[in-house]
Amino acid sequence: MSKTVLITGASKGFGKAWAEAFLAKGYQVAATARNVETLHSLKEKYGDSVLTLTLDVDQREESLAVVQKVHQHFGSIDILINNAGYALTGAIEETNEQEARAQFETNFFGTLWLTQAVLPIMRDQKSGHIIQVSSILGLATLPTMGLYNASKFALEGLSETLATEVKEFGIHVTLVEPNGYASNIWHTGIHTQSNPVYDGVKKAFSEAETSFGDVEATVPALIKLAETENPPLRLLLGKVALPFVKQNYEQRLKVWEEWKDVSVEAHG
């Protein structure tokens, strides 16, 4: 029997590339987007193998209803890919309350609602794989991305905890950690109202040497992740990811070791 994949944010970027790849491999795919018309080409090409649904992940009840529709339609949900999200760019001081809350509503709470909704289904199946699209910025930060960084750090803590809670039910959890990719997230994101005091750090950040990956190149990695029996908790994507995270963690360990005596004394 063909496995069923539910993927959010399937109209562009990673979501679109992965949805098409799973369909081409013979999976059944439930593809969601805020504007279902953007998924029309998938329906035309793959017919009954794909179910296209409107979903704003910010809306909890809508998320719960979509999961039920997918389950009723295909009879199972074997893989959930929480891909929907966007990037808020700007200094932390510049960020207003509405921008901060909206960033978390989509990147963190939207993922939480979908995750909670599929868990009873996967528990009954005694199997399932929840793939959370995080970022290397959920492991180490960059300036002018503070709220985006924070939303991904929150997702990291949620998902790592979840993995320990659901392992006994045969459910796997994986955090996919891409480095920068040439995707629409950087073009369709939101920018805070600029404060000139941060022009210097923004200029330095924008002029830093970067290497963006090719979205399509991630397809084999996602297929392999979906089809392995023992998927990892974290999968870094891109050639920049591991060196960036490794350097950051080595620096952390160095500082913690330097302060070890103070830490131990603080135990009492």
Q: Which residues are catalytic?
A: 134, 148, 152
Residue 239 dihedral angles phi and psi, to the nearest 5°: -75, -15
Taking the C-alpha atoms of residue 71 and residue 146, their distance in angstroms, rounded to an integer, is 36
Taking the C-alpha atoms of residue 250 and residue 228, their distance in angstroms, rounded to an integer, is 30
- CB distance 111 to 156 below 8 Å: no
Q: Residue 133: which of 49, 222, 220, 198 has the closest Cα?
A: 222
3-class state of residue 147 by DSSP:
helix
Residue 237 dihedral angles phi and psi, to the nearest 5°: -120, 130
The bridge status of strand 171-178 relative to strand 79-82 is unpaired
Taking the C-alpha atoms of residue 171 and residue 229, their distance in angstroms, rounded to an integer, is 11
